[in-house]
Chain A
Amino acid sequence: MTQKNRLPEGGRIDRTRPLGFLFNGRRYTGFAGDTLASALLANDVHFVGRSFKYHRKRGILGSGAEEPNALVQLELGGRTEPNARATQVDLYEGLIASSQNCWPTLEADLGAANSLLSRIYPAGFYYKTFMWPPSFWMTYERFIRRAAGLGRPPREPDPDRYEKAWRHCDVLVVGAGPAGIAAALAAGRSGARVILVDEQAELGGSLLSRKGAIDGAPATHWLDTALGELRSLPEVMVLPRTTAYGYYDHNMIGLIERIGDHRGGSNGGVPRQRLWHVRAKQVVLATGAIERPLVFSDNDRPGILLASAIETYVNRYAVAAGRRGVIVTGNDTGYGAALALAGAGTAVTVVDLRTEPTGPQHETARARGMEILAGHTVARTFGNGRVTGVEVMPMTADGEGVVGSGRRIECDLVGMSGGWSPTVHLYSQSGGKLRYDEALAAFVPGNFRSGQHLAGAVRGSFGLGAALSEGFAAGAAAAEAAGFRAAAAPVPAVEGYEPAPQRMLWVLPSSKPLGHGGKNFVDFQNDVTAADLKLAVREGYRSVEHVKRYTTTGMGTDQGKTSNINALAILSETVGAAIPAVGTTTFRPPYTPVTVGAFASRDLGDLLDPIRRTPTHGWAEKVGAPFENVGQWKRTWYFPKAGETMHAAVNREVKAARTSIGIVDASTLGKIDIQGPDAVKLLNWVYTNAWDNLAIGRSRYGLMLDENGMVFDDGVTTRIGENHYHMTTTTSGAPRVLAWMEEWLQCEWPHYRVFLTSVTEQWATIGVAGPNARKLISELTQDIALEDESFPFMSMKEGHVAGIPARVFRISFTGELSYEINVPTSYGLALWQALMTAGEKYEITPYGTEAMHVLRAEKGYIIVGQDTDGTVTPGDLGMDWIVSKKKPDFLGKRSLARADTRRDDRKHLVGLLTQNPSEAIPEGAQIVGELKPRPPMKMLGHVTSSYYSPNVGRSIALALIEGGRARIGQELHAALPDRNIRVTVTEPRFFDLEGTRVNG
């Protein structure tokens, strides 16, 4: 098919590069420089989609980010993208697009039946029905869900990749129209680091769409020169196809750069999109303005466009979108489209809402003999699909009614201009307040924000001259504010442009009452009409937010770019309040929708969260050991021999540690180096026990409580020197403990002289436990005396093990004679291997986290986070002995005195033994005293830890049970969904009750 509407010359397209594409299965051709929308219009394709609710036929309305109608399904398979705006899709060879929300085809869409019933589907109808019978909602909902939605989501993973980038700059300029380019020039010339971004493929903004002259030459000459200069400035970065989507605190701007989309296919190997985080000292917003549609009866037919879009398609894309045009406008800028069309050979009639139109473009049109109907309205439109005509009528003086009879004008293209709304989205996101300008009938920025400058149409300053002068001034001011000297530059001369007064009629009058007969659309995408807005008000939804939510106006993918102000104005007329009193809804990021994958970027899979590995990770991997995630760490779970089950492996490991030697990589334990003269004060605060008399070289176990007196971490802390301590924490609690202590130090005790450093990653910790542990280590050290007298339990020695400088701690999490050897991390594997080799004769056995858990449970040692859950006090654990009675205060002390915390029937940590010694209770099982045939049943507590213990020769469990210590000896029941297990309450210790094994 030929490009029927393509003009023989002009435009910014590259006619030497024709591009073929498919739309709804038909093949078309466009040119490089086209958008999908301009290429479709070049081929006279207006009807491109169906509306959300009524499935009305819809065409392309706009030419940019504001587009509500022309949403298409782009591409296929893993690369399919729903809801792509055809006006912002750059054309490429082989592009495939299809219409959405229609079945089986765009033309013969069964959903269009909705349109027939539209009378009973006004705004919010769904709140009033689908309630009977009550059980049917899920059925109704299934049909509603199928009918809703727009495009189809992909069904395959995304084959593309995304990137993130961060950048600081002196001046960020958003929008590369005349104002933005002028600002970038002024700032760039000062030497400031400038970033200029624009959402479009080609920079220039309105200069590309409107005919104009600068310094006596076509405006595009100035544009080419300016862009050339910007590219030559080394500190200026220009990012086309880049949308500033969010304005966050302290001038942090989110940008989304489309690098690969316009290349098609696999993007030529580059990332598809890049998400920028720019922190700018100064921001210049030159974001322009968006034209408003007019609200008249059946204003939504394909072929009815924004006037500015028609002008853009002619001037930028060399497309005259019709043969016979009608332009409806209440202002002078609407004439731009009329003049552009006339220049392209299209016959045009202008319907001007004003009774006495003025303005330079109006004068030009009149001079050219164009038919102009002043004081007229469009009463309705005709067409079964594409518009075929409009009925125009003279209006009463007040614009509220019509007089005389209508006249039908045949046409295939209608342009409408209801004035302009400054694109204040980013300004508003930055916290800026809006002011309603009566003359412009628009919200404009109401106050200037520090670090921010505004130029051009976004301020409500329309016209090329204002854009350039404000742009240069804003750029210079931004550079100055960022510490640069901006020389005054001559502002190029443009023809004077005095905006003429406009006439705003928010709903055009017609011979029929509103909503009778045709539909006057306000929000095209969500099918919200002026009658819907009035219905909402009638029903009491008067706040602008209520109207928005009740009717869904402004809640489509276009976020109301063309509808918000019209809706607000109709609301204000209906409730009889001034527009500023009605107020606006909140502008929320993103400005235009941003790909989810770009936010995710590469932070997926292994990069979702850093993986932390211990020094023996590779060794364990080689011997086939599985790992478990503990916080960010990968910990070895157990070390199976060939053909061994987990159960058998864990039993073997647990036994070895009690009979000869077990070895474990405990490097994941949190380690915090504490130094400073006030270190002991801090320890006295954060631990429940007293730390004043700990000798250098000695270790002590401590519990930490939160403000509620609940245990939140535990560990052993060792005094290394006079003012130097080494604290250990649980593996997953390490970051929390450090943050906790820092918070107290920084907020409550900033005067303390104490410094905390996480050294978890700096030290490898290899634990050696079992009756032969001392013998083994003695073979590998010359400078550490290991006898009890010189190196007792709970102490630390520095020296060498296997020739490696080491801190050796004699502490035990197994209850066995045990040493934890800390060496610099890079020596961790060497130490492990030395111990494994020397330990061969003792059948040294590596064990993992599972065996470690069994070993400690046999001894009744708790794991914070497993046997506690933030609701457990030291007393509940039977650890009152560790809570100092003498210390004046410590964190959590006050809460321990509260009535509920002192109750003696709180949940206590106890042991549970099953009747059947080989049966282990599932962890998490709830314990009841009295079984009932069915719930509810009174629960006494739950099983926190449960294992088979080969050393005890039976299953063991720890549990938190109400009044548990008083229940020792009682029989209770673990009540599970499929069975009940009878249990006996015991002390929470099962092995080595005398505690002698720790001495070997």
Chain B
Amino acid sequence: MPAKTRYSIFSLVRNAFSYHENWEEAWRSPEPRPEYDVIIVGGGGHGLATAYYLAKEHGITNVAVLEKGWIGGGNTGRNTTVVRSNYLWDESAHLYEHALKLWEGLSQELNFNVMFSQRGLLNLAHSPHEMRGLARRVYALNLNGIDSELLNLEQVRAMCPILNFSPKARYPIYGASLQRRGGVARHDAVAWGYARGADARGVDIIQNCEVTGFQISNGKVHGVETTRGTIRANKVGVVAAGHSSVLADLAGFRLPIQSHPLQAAVSEPVKPILDTVVMSGAVHVYVSQSDKGELVLGAGIDSYNSYSQRGSPKVVEDMFGALVELFPIFSRLKVLRTWGGIVDVCPDASPIIGRTPVEGLYFNCGWGTGGFKATPSSGWVFAHTIANDRPHPLNEAFGLERFSSGHLIDEHGAAAVAH
């Protein structure tokens, strides 16, 4: 594999002289080979990160990533880009904190600017009851060595003065928790950066290649059937988000996952007005402002199950009502786009990362509404799991078997808005 040109201001200037006509491909588009050591099904951020870490951390480079559409086209390219690690339970806190640490050096590691912006993340509390819940989480995070702090009303006001601090608000603001290291990143860049990094290490990224079945005999996987033919491999990792249940069904087992539409929206771009990420469970919205100037908003999930990537308009309207309630000055901004994705939700709102009833077949799914932030560690631990045929201590608790043992990791309280 030829080394890639290093991206930098110098290479930009150098290429400017040749009208940028000599840039090479960020990743190749090869024809699939008949056999690989490992196949990753799903070319989203998690799948590409898995391939990248398989090559980088475990020296396994004979890897194909199979994507039915275009890489990063599912929830990677649809989410609201929030990154944080303020999870309640030890297992989750460690997993997401590992991700946050990887995020902190990711642009340099990948030599691809993923624009990880640690602009801080406020979780608002609107009642003493919510303050108690935030306090519990902040104390737990601190004892796990993870940054998080409680803010009183005045501290919240100093940090985000454009919020509605009226004591007459329907749900007045009482305080907040703050994770200063939290923030946002450029979602597409994460997929592209991992793709470029994986490709440079020899991974084949194969788009427009849908997996239609698994080759399984004697309880062992030997490959996959695809729209571009059979591809053999004795290890297959599935990272297919909203469609994981469909793939599990093809492999002959069931997942405890429900798929729901989740919607998001952006406003027209405006000059900087909101410098941090703000989340409110009681008023049901979360919002940040992108580097382009758009407000990026997330809604709650639609309550019905669906594989269609659209939700009901009512949910979106409620989200904007909540936005104006929290930020009265946003009323005259305009909504540019709304869209939906499919989220795969586990009963305990925590992911599944590990082995399956089929030997050599691994699943990484169930990230619900919060998978983007975990992309680096999700790929990192999944690569470890596939390479060693056993989980890393960081994802040991996240196996499928927890639904029969009952060792659930209930993170419903950690979601940005109530789900």
Contact = CB atoms under 8 A, between A and B. Distances in A.
Q: Do A and B come from one complex?
A: yes
Interface of A: 52, 79-83, 119-120, 122, 125-132, 134, 137-138, 141, 144-146, 148-158, 160, 246, 248-249, 252, 254, 275, 277, 513, 515-516, 531, 535, 538-543, 545-546, 549-550, 552, 557, 559, 586, 588-590, 593-597, 599-601, 603-609, 611, 628-630, 707-710, 866, 869-871, 895, 898-901, 922-926, 928, 934-937, 939, 942, 975-977
A629 B127 CA distance: 7
B293 A535 contact: no
B116 interface: yes
Given A128-B7, A939-B90, A83 B406 contact: no
Nearest to A514: B19
B28 A540 contact: yes
A149 B272 CA distance: 7
A922 B139 CA distance: 11
A653 to B, nearest CB: 17
A156 B329 contact: yes
Given A125-B12, A157-B328, A895-B406, 5 more contacts: A82-B268, A148-B291, A596-B330, A604-B324, A926-B139
Contact of A629 (B20, B72, B171): B171
B21 interface: yes
A153 B410 contact: no
A125 B12 CA distance: 7
Interface in B60-115: 69-73, 77, 90, 105, 107-108, 111-113, 115
B180 to A, nearest CB: 12
Contacts of B77: 545, 549
B347 interface: yes
A600 B348 CA distance: 32
A588 B337 contact: yes
Contacts of B336: 557, 559, 590, 593
A869 B348 CA distance: 12
Nearest to B128: A628
B227 interface: no
A80 B332 contact: yes
B23 A597 contact: no
B362 to A, nearest CB: 22
Given A539-B24, A540-B25, A150 B139 contact: no
Contact of A82 (B24, B333, B402): B333
Interface in B114-156: 115-119, 126-129, 132-140, 142-145, 149
B133 A924 contact: yes
B27 interface: yes
A731 to B, nearest CB: 11
A600 B143 contact: no
A162 to B, nearest CB: 8
Across the A-B interface, the 5 shortest Cβ-Cβ residue pairs: A149-B293, A898-B406, A924-B136, A593-B334, A924-B135
A605 B325 contact: yes
A132 B107 CA distance: 9
A134 B331 contact: no
Contacts of A869: 410, 413
A141 B117 contact: yes
B21 A131 contact: no
Of B118, B188, B402, most buried by chain A (CB within 10 Å of CB) is: B188
Nearest to B19: A515
Contacts of B26: 539-541
A687 to B, nearest CB: 21
B338 A589 contact: yes
B283 A608 contact: yes
Contacts of A707: 347
24 contacts: A82-B270, A83-B269, A127-B189, A131-B113, A138-B119, A150-B270, A153-B273, A156-B329, A531-B20, A539-B26, A540-B28, A543-B73, A589-B337, A590-B337, A593-B335, A595-B331, A595-B333, A600-B321, A605-B169, A629-B126, A629-B127, A708-B408, A866-B132, A939-B90
Contacts of A923: 132, 135-136
Most buried by B among A138, A540, A710, A934: A540
A539 B23 contact: yes
Interface in B152-209: 168-171, 186, 188-189, 192-193, 207
A127 B112 contact: yes
Interface of B: 7-9, 11-13, 16, 19-21, 23-29, 69-73, 77, 90, 105, 107-108, 111-113, 115-119, 126-129, 132-140, 142-145, 149, 168-171, 186, 188-189, 192-193, 207, 267-273, 283, 289, 291-293, 310, 312-313, 316-318, 320-325, 328-339, 347-348, 402, 404-408, 410, 412-413
Contact of A557 (B111, B268, B339, B410): B268
A904 to B, nearest CB: 14
Contact of A127 (B140, B192, B334): B192
A160 B283 CA distance: 22
Contacts of B405: 898-900
Interface centre among A127, A137, A154, A155 (most CB of B within 10 A): A127
Contacts of A928: 143
B348 A708 contact: yes
Contacts of B112: 127-128
B117 A148 contact: no
Contacts of B404: 898
B72 to A, nearest CB: 8
Contacts of A129: 7-9, 12, 113
Nearest to B134: A924
Contacts of B143: 926, 928, 935-937, 939, 975
A606 B324 CA distance: 13
Contacts of A594: 334-335
B355 to A, nearest CB: 18
B283 A977 contact: no
Contacts of B171: 608-609, 629
Contacts of A871: 408, 410
A252 B310 CA distance: 14
A153 B333 contact: yes
Contact of A596 (B21, B289, B320): B320
Contacts of A593: 267-268, 334-336
Nearest to A975: B143
Given A605-B168, A608-B322, A926-B136, A596 B334 contact: yes
A149 B328 contact: no
Contact of B334 (A119, A120, A595, A975): A595
Contacts of A870: 410, 412-413
A465 to B, nearest CB: 36
Contacts of A607: 170
B139 A925 contact: yes
Contacts of A895: 406
Contacts of A900: 402, 405-408
A976 B170 contact: no
B23 A538 contact: yes
Contacts of B321: 599-601, 603-604, 608
Contacts of B117: 137-138, 141
B400 to A, nearest CB: 14
Contacts of A604: 321, 324-325
B211 to A, nearest CB: 18
A589 B310 CA distance: 11
B70 A600 contact: no
B188 A542 contact: no
Contacts of B270: 82-83, 149-153
A275 B329 CA distance: 19
Nearest to A605: B170
Contacts of B334: 83, 557, 593-596
Nearest to B192: A127
Contact of B406 (A138, A144, A148, A708): A708
B7 A708 contact: no
A119 B16 contact: yes
A126 B71 CA distance: 20
B132 A157 contact: no
Given A708-B406, A899-B405, A120 B268 contact: no
